[in-house]
Amino acid sequence: MALRIPQGTQMLKDGYKHLQGVDEAVLRNITAVHDLSEITRTSFGPNGRNKIIINHLEKLFVTNDAATIIRELEVVHPAAKLLVMASQQQEAEMGDASNLVSIITGELLQKAENLLRMGLHPSDIVQGYEVASLKALEILEELSVEQIKNVQTKEDLFKAVRSSIAAKQYGNEDLLTDLVCEAAIAVMPKDPTNFNVDNVRVVKIMGSSLYESRVVKGMVFGRSPEGVVTNAKKAKVAIFTCPLDVAQTETKGTVLIHNANEMLDFTKGEEKHMEQMLQGIADAGVKVVVTGNGVGELALHYLNRFGIMVVKVLSKFDLRRLCRVTGATALARVGAPMAEEMGFCDIVESVEIGGDRVTVFRQEEEISKTATIVIRGATQNHLDDVERALDDGINVIKALVKDPRLVPGAGASEMELLKRLLAVGEKTAGLNQHSIKKFAEAFEVVPRTLAENAGMDATEVLSKMYASHHADDSGVMGVDIESEKNGLLDAHAAGIYDVLSAKSHAIRLATETALTVLRVDQLIMSKAAGGPVAPKQKQHWDED
């Protein structure tokens, strides 16, 4: 009996989706990326609106931080995922301007769609965009108007950090910038290029107002000490990652007790062993014990008796930071630490901030290895959003120690890029000129978005910007978001700057993402694995 040969050439398994061609694949991808960039576009700049996002764990986020929005959205479209990855890369590398990546990518693809509809081939557009992006990065180098001379002074840092924080917390930017600069200078090493973002921590304590926030030189933990001892000076510190408790056996044993004396003697051995261990720690001169796990009642009793302060730190990352601050080694065994395993801290104290007691580890003599910004506020969501703004400010300082150059902000440098790239496009022969001009026009999205989000007439603002940038070559006129009459301001004179390295990195990533999407001409998706999703358990389902 002959084998039956299936009719037609079915190469792929049933359930595969196969999209190809300009209409089905390229334009669909462009639409998906543009839709995602439109979500974050309205959150751009000082007047950017907040988004409420409830993620798959039903956690609520109220934020205008693009990196958080993109991270918490569960994007499934493969082309839009490319934008998510680019934005996350910008956040990891520079810590700021992730929204700029999203906006420019969306606009570049929108302009490419117009060219495709005109009849240009995707490879022609790709070629033009590659030429234009290299030229844009060259032009951006020339637009630098300010350079941070000394990252050890507050005035210089203030100039660069203020704009970044104003984009997230408009109205509180001076207060928050002050906190970031103070904390950064407190931990700035002799060689600024070794500045570590991790050395500036943020602790959120509910209550009071943002104006009660302050910088503490040292590490702050949001809980009080465990025992009765609440402070220590010039103290040797021992740090343990294991619980300070009586070891539990793996097997359960049954003990038969005949009389009262046996009952009294039952735990004596354990108590003696625990006392000996902790006596050894006290004899080594340790005044503060930090544990990353639980503290048993018996251990706490002996530690109180020996006058040792006990602090519980549940985060293993915070334990590592504390090891760095005190110079201690984290021990995985309970026992007397050796001299080189112990750390030292000038002051360990329990302080009350608002209604909460916190524990502070502070070094007085040397330059502090860690500074903590304690922020206060009414709601947890507000505190989280302020933390994101501070995080951006600290990352700006990290970018500055590598490259201290600044370009004018408020959309001024983008407008100057547009003007100079258009001139390059005019001089270019062949089909590339169309895509270079469209690449240039894409930068218009930044000042337009700033104007739209501030409730201004974007058309009038842009026409004024075109006029002023073509009238002179200084390239410093930007959008005045506080103007009643759709006016402009001198970004250099107003002290509104963007970090050059963050901006060039954003342009590079945005171009790469746009080119990757344009180079795709087919989408082949297999059928999702697994059956139907099980229904969720409803609360109170058994009540009548």
- Structural domain boundaries enclosing 337: 219-247+270-367
pLDDT in tens, 507-531: 888 888 888 888 877 777 776 666 6
* Domain-embedded: residue 531: no
Instruction: Please check whether residues 228 and 362 belong to one and the same domain.
Output: yes
Where are any strands of DSSP class E within 3-145? 17-20, 51-54, 60-63
Instruction: Compare 249 and 167 and report the one with higher pLDDT.
Output: 167
- The angle, 0 to 180 degrees and rounded to 10, between the axes of the packed helices 122-142 and 500-518 is 180
Residues 414 and 331 in one domain: no
Q: Which residues face 523 on adjacent strands? A: 19
pLDDT digits (tens, 9 = 90+) for 99-110: 888 888 888 888
pLDDT tens-digit map of 69-99: 888 888 888 888 888 888 888 888 887 788 8
352 and 439 within one domain: no
Asked if residue 518 belongs to a domain, the reply is yes
Neighbouring CB atoms inside 10 A of 491's CB total: 25
Residue 141, domain member (yes or no): yes
* One domain, residues 93 and 23: yes
pLDDT in tens, 395-430: 888 888 888 888 887 888 888 888 888 888 888 777
* Confidence at residue 91, expressed as pLDDT on a 0 to 100 scale: 83
Domain-embedded: residue 158: no
Query: Under a CB-based contact definition with an 8 Å cutoff, are residues 154 and 147 in contact?
Result: no
Classify residue 535: in a domain, yes or no.
no
- Residues in a beta bridge with 215: 373
Query: What is the mean pLDDT of the segment spanning 48-64?
Result: 83
Task: pLDDT band for 362, please (50, 70, 90 cuts).
Answer: confident
Task: Let me know whether 231 and 361 are in one domain.
Answer: yes
Q: Are residues 428 and 485 in the same domain?
A: yes
Q: What pLDDT, in 10s, does the model give residues 262-274? A: 666 666 666 777 7
Band of residue 13 on the pLDDT scale cut at 50, 70, 90: low
**Same domain? 232 vs 357:** yes
In a domain, 344, yes or no: yes
234/330 same-domain check: yes
Calculate mean pLDDT across residues 471-495: 77
Using CA atoms, how far apart are residues 136 and 131, in angstroms rounded to an integer?
A: 9
Q: Answer whether residue 315 is part of any domain.
A: yes
* Helix (H), strand (E) counts: the chain: 19, 19
* pTM to 2 decimal places: 0.79
Provide the 8-state DSSP code for 232. Answer: E
Identify whether residues 418 and 363 lie together within a single domain. no
Residue 9 has pLDDT above 60, yes or no: no
Cα–Cα distance, 350 to 232 (Å, whole number)? 9
Q: Position of tokens 């490319």? A: 82
At 240, is the secondary structure helix, strand, or coil?
A: strand
Band (306; pLDDT cuts 50, 70, 90)? confident
Task: Give a yes or no: residue 255 inside a domain.
Answer: no
350 & 454 share domain: no
Count: domains in the chain: 2
Q: What average pLDDT does the structure give for the chain?
A: 79
pLDDT of residue 1: 46
> Which among 504, 524, 197, 222 has a CA at the least distance from the CA of 361?
222
pLDDT at residue 365, as a whole number: 63
pLDDT tier at 323, thresholds 50, 70, 90: confident
Tens-digit pLDDT profile for residues 175-213: 888 888 888 888 887 777 777 787 888 888 887 788 888
Q: Which residues contact 176 (CB under 8 A, 6 or more apart)?
A: 165, 169, 210, 213, 386, 389, 390, 393
Mean pLDDT of 139-156: 79
Is the confidence at residue 140, as pLDDT, over 60? yes
The pLDDT assigned to 336 comes to 75
What CATH number does residue 113 fall under?
Answer: 1.10.560.10
Per-residue pLDDT, 242: 77
Written as one string, the DSSP assignment of 1-41 is: -PPPPPSS---SPTT-EEEEHIIIIIHHHHHHHHHHHHHHH
Q: Averaged over 122-141, what is the pLDDT?
A: 85
Q: Which CATH number covers residue 327? A: 3.50.7.10
| Domain end among 367, 399, 418 | 367
Cα angle 376, 380, 381 (rounded to 5 degrees) comes to 115
Residue type, 309: M
* Domain-terminating residue out of 367, 398, 420: 367
Beta strands 371-377; 214-217: pairing state:
antiparallel
**pLDDT confidence tier of residue 376, bands split at 50, 70 and 90:** confident
Whether 346 and 223 share a structural domain: yes
Per-residue model confidence (pLDDT) at position 23: 63
Examine the fold and report which residue of 367, 393, 427 is the final residue of a domain before the chain moves on: 367
Same domain, 234 and 333: yes
pLDDT band (50, 70, 90) for residue 43: confident
Q: How confident is the model at residue 320 (pLDDT cuts 50, 70, 90)?
A: confident
How large is the average pLDDT for residues 436-440?
A: 86
Look at residue 18 in the predicted model and tell me its pLDDT.
66
% of the chain residues with pLDDT over 90:
0
For 98, the token pair is 């992730």
